[in-house]
Amino acid sequence: MGPELLTFVKAEWARVLWKKLQRIIGARAEELNRLRDEFVDPEELARFSVEPHWQIR
């Protein structure tokens, strides 16, 4: 993907979006750390979780 594909993105937008992405990544890391403190590793837990199959009746 070359720079010509991103000509519609303004530099100001890229900075704002990058900061927002960093906040989201940081918040997710904090949440995972809190889960690790309370339970076992959440990534290991995810291997054993089963997504329920909801049916609309």
pLDDT at 45: 78
How far is 34 from 49, CA to CA, in rounded Å? 18
Residues 6+ apart with CB under 8 A from 27: none
* 29, two tokens: 């890391």
Q: What is the pLDDT of residue 56?
A: 72
What pLDDT is attached to residue 32? 83
Provide the pLDDT for residue 23.
95
Contact 42, 32 (CB under 8 A): yes
Mind listing the pLDDT tens digit for each residue in 5-53? 666 667 788 889 999 999 999 999 998 888 888 877 777 877 887 777 7
Please check whether residue 36 is in contact with residue 42, taking contact to mean a CB–CB distance below 8 angstroms.
yes
The reported pLDDT for the residue numbered 26 is 94
Q: What is the pTM of this model?
A: 0.51
